[in-house]
Amino acid sequence: MKNLSVFDVIGPRMIGPSSSHTAGAVRIALVGRKIAHGRISSVQFFLHGSFAKTYRGHGTDRALLGGILGYSTEDPRIVDAFKKADEKGITYSFSPTDLGEDFHPNTVRMLITTEDGEQSEVIGESVGGGSIKIVQLNGQRVEFTGEFYTLIVKQRDVPGVAAHITQCIASEGINVAFMRIYREEKGDFAYTIIEADEEISESAVDKIKAKPELIQTALVVSLR
């Protein structure tokens, strides 16, 4: 119980009705919004398992769209997310799907497109009590929760790249809690995911991106 706060028990303050189907959904989409990194023009949600079955009754659809709009789990505008998205000209769709047995019963796959035509795929699981896990990014299995300051780097799978990333992080004095590398089975790219207890500065990110021959993208995601 060392890390359990009394505010995990009395709290969070949230828009109902369900911590897993509503609050968790908001948080997954908030991560998706940050990963998409730009003005979002459209988003397709593919709902799996219990999400597919009960999304309307739990307002999972509004919650997901609310997260895409940048609303926090306690933002009352979530109820009006459809209207707000329409006003902003964001198009959206919800389709039940079956992602297979490998995924948690409360899972959503999001295809997010920005105004400059970039598309990101994010799969997230709502694992209970509003906690989430991002388990896939653009076809690559990954794992992070968003509870930490999380640096996501898409890199070329060549020697020297991990050293470059760790050097940049170390030179900024950032204390790394976890670091993992995920690589495609056969492919040119890999993801490095670094989780830190403290904020990861823009300058660290810029330093990493300064070697475009190694790095395709780098961005920081956090639900804190």
Partner 1 sequence: MNFKNGQELEACCVETGKSIAQICIEREMDLTGWSEDTIRAEMRKDYDVMRQAVDRALKEELHSMGGLLGGEARKLKARLDAGPTVCGSLMSKAIGAAMGVMEVNASMGLIVAAPTAGSCGILPGSLLTTAEQFGWSDDQIIDALFVAGAIGLIITRNATVSGAEGGCQAETGSAAAMAAAGIVSALGGTPRQTLDAAATALKNVMGLVCDPIAGLVESPCQKRNALGAANALISAEMALAGIPSIIPFDEVVDAMYKVGKRMPMELRETALGGLAHTPTGCAICSRIYQ
Angle, CA of 21, 23 and 26, to the nearest 5°: 100
Give the number of residues in contact with partner 1, rule: CB under 8 A. Answer: 36
By CB under 8 A, which span of 2-10, 117-125, 139-147, 174-182 interacts with partner 1? 2-10
Report strand pairing: 40-49 vs 91-97: parallel
**CB 25 within 8 Å of CB 110:** no
**Position 199 contacts partner 1 (CB under 8 A):** no
Across the strands, what pairs with 125? 107, 133
Q: How far is the CB of 146 from partner 1 (least distance, A)?
A: 18
Q: How many CA atoms lie within 13 A of 23 on its CB side?
A: 18
Chosen residue from 89, 128, 139, 187 binding partner 1 by CB under 8 A: 128
Chosen residue from 49, 59, 124, 146 binding partner 1 by CB under 8 A: 59
Q: How far is the CB of 69 from partner 1 (least distance, A)?
A: 15
Output Rg (C-alpha) for the chain, integer angstroms: 18
Q: What is the DSSP string of 157-173?
A: S-TTHHHHHHHHHHHTT
Query: Residue 8 or 115: which CB sits closer to partner 1?
Result: 8
**Position 180 contacts partner 1 (CB under 8 A):** no
Q: Is the peptide bond before 105 cis (omega within 30 degrees of 0)?
A: no
Interaction residues for partner 1, span 71-110 (CB under 8 A) = 74, 76, 78-79
Chosen residue from 70, 129, 139, 187 binding partner 1 by CB under 8 A: 129
By CB under 8 A, which span of 122-130, 137-145, 159-167, 183-191 interacts with partner 1? 122-130
Query: Residue 127 or 179: which CB sits closer to partner 1?
Result: 127
* Tokens 């639900």, residue located: 223
Is the Cα dihedral 139, 143, 147, 151 positive or negative?
A: negative
Residues near partner 1 (CB under 8 A) are 1-19, 22-23, 50, 53-54, 56-59, 62, 74, 76, 78-79, 128-130
